[in-house]
Structure 1
């Protein structure tokens, strides 16, 4: 996997937690999410209808419906829980820490669901990554945020939603161009968040510079950067490798939070960053790539690598 792509993914994905906190300071979570996706969906739809028609050829209504479900899980469900947790008072670093348990869930399911081989060395790397997450979690929890105890359960729902979307996409037999997939995902999220905002009476944008700065941050860095690179690296490197990079999100987000919001960053966070980096190296060297256990998964593999 390209090192620059991995580095860009870690930085831009972690920026989403910071953008969520920036937006939470000026508006309701669904308001921020509505205005993050509504203009973006309109622009992507225009591009799809003009200069990117080729990427839609051969796609059926069933293919588009499947991508809409993937988008609802990977964007709508995931982001709503992240934003809501941060709005409740959970720090951006802690939210990223909880999200960091995703590789363990994905690693446990990749064999039964996709028939992909996970080596012993890769399992060692996953366990090492969990250790890094635990180290940072202990240090962050000791600082205290004032959020209710149940608020820390909210990000777990988002993590499971993203895992479900990842496996659903990997089992898709029809190749879908990344540009087409992102357009469907963003349009789905625009519909979901607009409906939620209207239902809550929170659709009106906030007339503050900080609000629109947060929207710009989220669209450029988080959506085109983090979300786009997630699916690109997933198709090039497989589920285990892309999810291992998630171990770096918590400490990197903690660095962002310390620099921008004064959130605590001590020796334990630094140690967790080092352990997480070691986990990424171990997993990436633990195998040349996912292997098929039987011929029954060949269609899945071909669909997932198409367009990479």
Structure 2
């Protein structure tokens, strides 16, 4: 039996917190980049996190050595590659809200691939909503690119590359037979990023942090809200409600980020921006409708990602409950 995808009322609070935490990353990136190079900011964001989370790596967990190697690759894509492109784009002059909107195209890519890769049903209403959301992304991106503030056109491809990294990481994780708990996964990803960014900082001579208080406030902001909050909730919600449901929440991130960036940095907030954000919010409503599905008995139940071939239930040590895991019996052996 196939089920639709969506988000139930029980996860609304976590979803709202996720949107706020994920939006904080774009703001923190601009705060940190004001005082130091990108490599310095990212190194000092992840080294303290790695030290804090190392104990979760020495504990026994699902996945073994093979699972550890896969999660290292997931972390390199979802954090290292993604954050490098986001910080680079903002450094090139792309507004924080526009960067978030370009990343907001991610749900369309995920939904387009969810059927063939995960066997998840995507309804016509959800496709319509995803299309409306992408129209909003395109509108605001075009407005920002033609506003004459000197940002090169190719810079708008940089956050798009980061979005592709996160999409790849999402599907790589979903097609894994055994996955660690969300907390252990975040620990693996943060240690991976600490190694990558420390190597980058050493190679570019950017290890020394500035002495300004603003820099360390930005680091605390990025560690607590953006990483522990944003990435932690991302994987937790991914495990509870599924791929497309979580990525639908990304459509709310641009609105929060744009308003935040306008208030803190005076970034433009004109008519085209409002229109594009309205389209993104309308897309969220369209895709999130029908969050409940009917099971064989006719009752409504919360949706989850289910494989058309083989679905099984496993305990989720990180989520504190039972979730539906995708286990495919096809040629891929997943």
Task: State the TM-score, normalized to the length of structure 2.
Answer: 0.84
Q: Does 1:18 align with 2:13?
A: no
Which sections of structure 2, spanning at least 5 residues, go unmatched?
Answer: 1-7, 293-302, 320-334
Shift of 1:174: 0.8
Residue 309 of structure 2 is aligned to residue 295 of structure 1:
yes
- Shift, 1:254, TM fit: 0.9
Any idea what SS the aligned residue of 2:54 has?
helix
Aligned-pair distance for 1:282? 1.6
1:70 counterpart = 2:74: yes
Question: Is this contact kept in 1: 2:26–2:257, CA < 8 A?
Answer: yes
Counterparts of 2:48 and 2:278 in 1: how far apart (Å)? 39
Count of aligned residue pairs for this structure pair: 300
Q: Which residue is 2:298 aligned to?
A: none
Deviation at 1:48, TM superposition (A): 5.1
Q: Name the CA distance, whole Å, in 2 between partners of 1:76 and 1:291.
A: 27
Q: 5+ residue gaps in structure 1? A: none
Measure how far apart 1:305 and its partner are. 6.6
What is residue 237 of structure 1 aligned with on the other side? 241
Higher helix share: 1
Deviations 1:191-238 (CA, angstroms, capped at 9, x unpaired):
000001101111111111121111111001100111111111111111
Cα–Cα, structure 1 residues 293 and 205, in superposed 2: closer, same or farther, change >3 Å? closer
Higher strand share: 2
Name 1:43's counterpart in structure 2. 52
Q: Distance in 2 between matches of 1:82 and 1:39?
A: 21
TM-score (norm: length of structure 1): 0.91
Residue 57 (structure 1) shift: 3.2
Distance 1:173 1:109 in 2: 19
Q: 1:28 to 1:237 in 2, by over 3 A?
A: same
Do structure 1's residue 220 and structure 2's residue 224 form an aligned pair?
yes
Out of 97, 100, 109, the position equivalent to 1:96 is 100
Greater shift, 3-12 or 30-39, is seen at 3-12
Tell me the SS of whatever aligns to 1:295: coil
The alpha carbon displacement at 1:294 in A equals: 2.4
Shift of 1:293: 5.6
* Residue 163 of structure 2: aligned partner: 159
1:90–1:145 contact (8 Å) kept in structure 2: no
CA distance in 2, matches of 1:14, 1:7: 11
Distance in 1, Cα, partners of 2:52 & 2:162: 26
1:181 to 182, 185, 188: 185
Following superposition, the deviation at residue 272 of structure 1 comes to 2.8
2:140–2:272: 8 Å Cα contact kept in structure 1? yes
* Corresponding residue for residue 295 of structure 2: none
Q: CA RMSD in A?
A: 1.9
